């Protein structure tokens, strides 16, 4: 096995000299893993404590840096069959956790207050008129105020802060009417308590907060779970680079395997033949050809030499390169992409969320209604100032957007759960609404319709035993063609005593004779001539041999998913940066009529803008750097998890795995979610249409308010729960194996190349 990487970048040392590292772990399937992992860690010399979090699949280890290196920890985990990589908690994730805790505390306080106030309120309501003396009632009201005021001040923070922020920006969001409603209800109730009046609304105000907080906690919990899983995936990509120790002489001895996250500008790294280029950089030494399909979509290699820029994510061909790492954004291509993204996203930011659209209308309507009601009672119906005010405020309390404010978040929480189970991560909540509205799907070719890494194209024509042998040999090489072979076959144990001849092939004793995998010359076979559009690699065992053709292959379910999308009435197009000759057969195979090849990022945007001008709402699915601007320009966007970082950040959602099914699932779930949101909003509006006349006529007693509020909240929440299902239905339809959707984190992991330890 190769030397373990230098993880010192991730290790934190506390004042007492203990080091701590957080590892993201892949391969946890059951609870038994918990014991295995922790015991394995604690047996290592120098490890003081190891604690695995079974929910987030992270392991925290405290150890003595003098006795064991961090690399030894991951090595030990790998030996028992778990892939691990240091994990750096990003700030967003810490923020999400803090926000979740705050919301949970607020919910706790609100529920405590609501329960205790309800205890008092129900006594008041049931004792009304006869059995309860006025003094007792006033005392109960006073007690309610004592509980409600501090509780509302604490539990309402999330709403007050958000309302204030939105008002300062000159906008109105849902939290503004909520805040106004709560504050007015409390103020009125305090006044009524002071006047010894029979009715107060403390319970309504606090219950409103409790219901809304419950919805937000649900939403936040789901978001946090998604974020943690996405963080693990990012960490487990775990790319390493061979870095020359800074400051030391640039010789072979000073090469250290370093995590990409620890690379800094001006570091010198060595990229050997067939390796993925770890960071953007300028070539200082060497010449090679690089496969930039992850960046531009072009599948033919590009020759590079000293002074050329190369980009992270491209794959080095057959020459070793020494790079000087440059900061991202330094490169012309990335600058261009970033400029296009800025321009495109400015045009897109005009989208207003469904809930905000409703609340922009809702707030003024409700407040005007309340005002009009008060004035009417005062001027025309002869009510006193106090009575008119009470009725006006009771209109506000009754309409208080309990159902309205829950209608969307409840569906959102359920939908992100459904996304998660279907192997999708939502980057942005607005994405959900937008994906539900699209009518055209535009695919990129390389890495989106096709698998990100090339595979054996003619696997069906090769005798299974030779293919198996090829895969076992391929595990011993890091050459891109060998990796393609290894990926194509089921995980087989590597052959012992395999010897690699750099750039030529791998040989190992097998059975009575030798087995070879490599170029025709290496296998000593007469080459049957080059094959257009595919690279060939040969496998030979004794006298038998086979030619494996390696090329980009379609995702296994691409045709079925596209058929299904067409059936559901969506238009489909392919836009590729690759040559037209390479795109044509794929478009033909998938039955897509609208396609074009050889496009620059700006051309893709032009195509999208043109369609958008005709009124189409486009979902762009792409992975390359060249797709990033198009993703930003499209109405909604998706990208696979293997996509370049910049591209992923532009996508509304990211999907996992080798299959294209999540794209269909995303559309199905989003459409259904959008339908449910609209149903819920319609219900909320209908509820108000019934309840408001009650309040306007002065019949909205606190009891009525409490009943109406809880009933409407429960109805919209239950309606949102109906979202469990469609994602599953889509996966079943496409014939996915039963359990593949349930554990997206595991599904994403590439097959472990060092599978099946001999123990």
Partner 1 sequence: MNVLIFLIPVALALGLLGLYGLFWSLKSGQYEDLEGAAYRILQDDDIEKK
CB of 86 to partner 1, least distance (A): 19
Query: E-strand spans in 651-755?
Result: 653-655
Is 193 a binding residue for partner 1 by CB under 8 A? The answer is no
Question: Which segment (114-122, 182-190, 254-262, 676-684) binds partner 1 by CB under 8 A?
Answer: 114-122
Using CB under 8 A, count the residues that bind partner 1. Answer: 23
* Residue among 97, 661, 648, 667 nearest 427 (CA): 648
CB of 665 to partner 1, least distance (A): 25
Nearer to partner 1, 115 or 327 (CB): 115
CB of 109 to partner 1, least distance (A): 7
Is 115 a binding residue for partner 1 by CB under 8 A? The answer is yes
Among the residues of 442-502, which ranges form H helices? 464-474, 480-488
* Cα–Cα distance, 335 to 749 (Å, whole number): 31
Is 112 a binding residue for partner 1 by CB under 8 A? The answer is yes
Cβ atoms of 73 and 8 closer than 8 Å: no
Is 178 a binding residue for partner 1 by CB under 8 A? The answer is no
Cβ atoms of 643 and 544 closer than 8 Å: no
Nearer to partner 1, 38 or 387 (CB): 38
Please work out, in degrees rounded to the nearest 5, the angle formed at the alpha carbon of residue 287 by the alpha carbons of 282 and 288.
Answer: 100
CB of 654 to partner 1, least distance (A): 24
Nearer to partner 1, 36 or 88 (CB): 36
- Reduced to 3 states, what is the DSSP secondary structure of residue 185? helix
Q: How many CA atoms lie within 13 A of 48 on its CB side?
A: 12
Strands 535-541 and 544-551: antiparallel
Nearer to partner 1, 57 or 540 (CB): 57
Contacts of 282 (CB under 8 A, 6+ apart): 307, 308, 309, 310, 323, 324, 326
Nearer to partner 1, 53 or 513 (CB): 53
Please work out, in degrees rounded to the nearest 5, the angle formed at the alpha carbon of residue 228 by the alpha carbons of 227 and 233.
Answer: 95
Catalytic residue (choose from 26, 138, 444, 652) = 444
Residues 4-43 that bind partner 1 (CB under 8 A): 31, 34-35, 38-39
Out of 23, 77, 147, 408, point to the residue binding partner 1 (CB under 8 A).
147
Out of 11, 143, 282, 602, point to the residue binding partner 1 (CB under 8 A).
143
Between 70-79 and 32-43, two packed helices, what is the crossing angle to 10 degrees?
A: 130
CB of 100 to partner 1, least distance (A): 9
Contacts of 367 (CB under 8 A, 6+ apart): 177, 180, 396
Is 150 a binding residue for partner 1 by CB under 8 A? The answer is no
Nearer to partner 1, 116 or 314 (CB): 116
Is 136 a binding residue for partner 1 by CB under 8 A? The answer is yes
Active site (annotated) includes residue 444: yes
Out of 18, 90, 105, 547, point to the residue binding partner 1 (CB under 8 A).
105
Residues 48-67 that bind partner 1 (CB under 8 A): 52-56
Is 126 a binding residue for partner 1 by CB under 8 A? The answer is no
CB of 98 to partner 1, least distance (A): 11
Question: Which segment (104-112, 187-195, 320-328, 696-704) binds partner 1 by CB under 8 A?
Answer: 104-112
* Cα–Cα distance, 415 to 219 (Å, whole number): 10
Nearer to partner 1, 112 or 160 (CB): 112
The torsion region of residue 524 among left (phi > 0), alpha (psi -120 to 50) and beta comes to: left
Q: For 494-509, give the DSSP string.
A: PPTT-EEETTTEEEEE
CB of 35 to partner 1, least distance (A): 5
Is 165 a binding residue for partner 1 by CB under 8 A? The answer is no
For residue 707, CA distances in Å to 189, 714, 722 come to: 18, 11, 23
* Residue among 334, 219, 226 nearest 647 (CA): 334
Binding site for partner 1 (CB under 8 A): 31, 34-35, 38-39, 52-56, 101, 104-105, 108-109, 112, 115-116, 119, 133, 136, 143, 147
Active site residues: 444
């Amino acid at each position: 096995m190769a030397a373990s990487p230098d993880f010192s970048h991730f290790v934190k040392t506390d004042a007492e000299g203990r080091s701590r590292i957080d590892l993201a772990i892949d391969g946890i399937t059951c609870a038994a893993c918990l014991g295995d992992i922790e015991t394995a860690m604690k047996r290592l010399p120098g490890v003081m404590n190891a604690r695995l979090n079974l929910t987030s699949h992270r392991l925290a280890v405290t150890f003595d840096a003098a006795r064991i290196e961090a690399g030894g920890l991951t090595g030990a985990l790998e030996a028992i069959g778990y892939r691990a990589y240091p994990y750096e908690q990003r700030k967003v994730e810490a923020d999400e956790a803090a926000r979740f805790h705050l919301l949970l505390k607020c919910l706790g306080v609100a529920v405590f207050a609501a329960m205790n106030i309800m205890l008092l309120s129900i006594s008041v309501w049931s004792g009304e008129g006869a059995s309860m003396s006025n003094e007792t009632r006033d005392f109960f009201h006073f007690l309610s105020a004592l509980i409600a005021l501090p509780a509302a001040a604490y539990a309402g923070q999330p709403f007050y802060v958000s309302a204030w922020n939105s008002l300062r920006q000159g906008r109105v969001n849902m939290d503004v009417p909520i805040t106004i409603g709560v504050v007015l209800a409390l103020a009125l109730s305090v006044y009524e308590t002071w006047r010894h009046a029979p009715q107060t609304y403390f319970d309504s105000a606090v219950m409103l907060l409790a219901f809304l907080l419950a919805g937000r906690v649900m939403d936040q919990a789901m978001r946090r779970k998604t974020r943690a899983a996405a963080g693990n995936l990012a960490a487990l990509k775990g790319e390493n680079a061979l870095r020359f120790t800074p400051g030391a002489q640039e010789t072979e001895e000073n090469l250290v395997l370093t995590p990409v996250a620890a690379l800094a500008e001006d570091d010198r790294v060595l990229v050997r033949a067939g390796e993925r280029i770890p960071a953007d950089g300028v070539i200082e030494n060497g010449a090679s050809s690089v496969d930039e399909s992850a960046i531009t979509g072009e599948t033919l290699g590009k020759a590079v030499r000293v002074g050329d820029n190369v980009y992270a994510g491209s794959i080095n061909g057959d020459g070793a390169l020494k790079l000087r790492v440059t900061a991202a954004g330094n490169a012309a291509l990335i600058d261009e992409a970033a400029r296009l993204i800025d321009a495109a996203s400015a045009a897109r930011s005009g989208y207003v969320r469904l809930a905000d659209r409703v609340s922009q209308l809702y707030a003024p309507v409700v407040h005007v209604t309340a005002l009009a009601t008060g004035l009417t009672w005062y001027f025309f119906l002869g009510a006193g100032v106090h009575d008119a005010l009470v009725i006006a405020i009771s209109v506000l309390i009754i309409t208080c957007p309990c159902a309205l404010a829950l209608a969307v978040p409840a569906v959102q929480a359920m939908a992100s759960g459904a996304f998660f189970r279907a192997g999708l991560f939502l980057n942005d909540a607005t994405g959900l609404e937008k994906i539900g509205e699209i009518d055209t799907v535009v695919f990129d070719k390389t890495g989106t319709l096709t698998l990100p890494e090339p595979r054996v194209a003619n696997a069906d024509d090769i005798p299974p035993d030779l293919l198996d042998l090829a895969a076992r040999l391929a595990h011993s090489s890091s050459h891109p063609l060998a990796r393609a072979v290894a990926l194509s076959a089921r995980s087989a144990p590597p052959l012992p005593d395999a010897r690699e001849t750099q750039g030529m092939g791998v040989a190992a004793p097998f059975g009575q004779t030798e087995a070879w995998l490599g170029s025709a010359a290496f296998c000593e076979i007469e080459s049957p001539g080059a094959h257009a559009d595919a690279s060939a690699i040969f496998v030979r065992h004794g006298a038998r041999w086979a030619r494996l053709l390696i090329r980009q292959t379609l995702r296994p379910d691409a045709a079925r998913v596209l058929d299904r999308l067409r059936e559901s009435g969506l238009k489909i197009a392919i836009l590729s940066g690759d040559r037209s000759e390479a795109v044509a057969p794929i478009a033909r195979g998938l039955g897509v009529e609208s396609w074009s090849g050889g496009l620059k990022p700006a051309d893709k945007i032009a195509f999208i803008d043109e369609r958008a001008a005709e009124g189409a709402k486009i979902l762009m699915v792409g992975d390359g750097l060249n797709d990033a601007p198009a993703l930003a320009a499209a109405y909604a966007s998706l990208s696979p998890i293997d996509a370049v970082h910049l591209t992923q950040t532009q996508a509304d959602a990211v999907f996992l795995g080798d299959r294209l099914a999540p794209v269909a699932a995303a559309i199905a779930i989003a459409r259904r979610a959008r339908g449910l949101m609209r149903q819920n909003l319609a219900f909320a509006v209908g509820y108000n249409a019934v309840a408001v006349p009650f309040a306007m006529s002065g019949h909205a007693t606190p009891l009525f308010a409490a009943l109406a509020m809880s009933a409407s909240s429960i109805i919209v929440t239950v309606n949102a729960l109906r979202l469990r299902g469609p994602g599953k239905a889509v996966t079943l339809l496409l014939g996915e194996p039963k359990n593949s959707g349930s554990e997206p984190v595991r599904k994403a992991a590439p097959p472990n190349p060092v599978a099946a330890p001999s123990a």
